[in-house]
Amino acid sequence: MIEWRDDLPRWRQIATVIQRRITSGEYPPGRLISENGLMQEFGVARNTARKTIVWLREEKALIYTRPNLGSFVGPEPEDDGEE
Amino acid sequence: MIEWRDDLPRWRQIATVIQRRITSGEYPPGRLISENGLMQEFGVARNTARKTIVWLREEKALIYTRPNLGSFVGPEPEDDGEE
DNA sequence: AGATATTTGTTCGTATGTATC
DNA sequence: GGATACATACGAACAAATATC
């Protein structure tokens, strides 16, 4: 169980944890924890879990997201090789 | 057409209807209405229909679910007779 | 064997409403 | 008013197992 601080929003605190897991290698390149997994593990609503994912993607550029599939550790892959 | 109330979420209102059908015998032990059937009959999204099923299963224990097959009225059958 | 339809499981995208701070 | 956080609800897409033809 995570101890929430009062000086930062929960989605930022979760982002810190996930970021640590990524940079430490605990989350190797590949499938990241899903929004649902975040909700379960941290006991937050989906909105909150989503904000974490968006933050990691839009601001930190540590992950990318494939709609309906999930988020992945690493940079957005190039889409070359298609007509 | 169902008249939605404002004091309860739709998935709970649907659950009440289904529960009534089960206890009244309108839905005898056996195959329950599918998520798709729920969507059609009540005009709701699949998420909403699913919440009803999960509620009836996890909280009410009135039904059980066989993945890729459907949900069934009654208690979870024992799995004996297997190696 | 193969194609198709059905059904549950899972995922992300989006929007709304309520409440709190 | 704005940011945070909860719950609800719509939509869409992909996967996998099962059943049917």
A1 assigned to some structural domain: no
A4 assigned to some structural domain: no
Whose structure tokens read 């009540």? B42
The domain of B65 spans 10-73
Which residue has the closest alpha carbon to D11 C1'?
Answer: B45
Distance from C-alpha of A66 to C-alpha of B38, rounded to nearest angstrom: 29
Query: Cβ(A10)–Cβ(A42) under 8 Å?
Result: yes
This prediction has a pTM of 0.90
Of B2 and A61, the structure prediction assigns the larger pLDDT to: A61
Distance from C-alpha of B61 to C-alpha of A20, rounded to nearest angstrom: 40
3-state secondary structure of A1: coil
Protein-proximal positions, strand D, CB < 7 A: 3-14, 16-19
B78 assigned to some structural domain: no
DSSP code for A43: T
Write the pLDDT tens digit of every residue in B51-80: 999 999 999 999 999 999 999 999 988 765
For chain A, the domain total comes to 1
- Residue A18's CATH number: 1.10.10.10
A36 assigned to some structural domain: yes
Joined tokens for residue A37:
């997994």
B32 assigned to some structural domain: yes
B69 in contact with nucleic chain C (CB within 7 A): yes
From first to last of its 83 residues, chain A has per-residue pLDDT tens of: 889 999 999 999 999 999 999 999 999 989 999 999 999 999 999 999 999 999 999 999 999 999 999 999 999 887 655 44
B68 in contact with nucleic chain C (CB within 7 A): yes
DSSP H helix total and E strand total for chain A: 3, 3
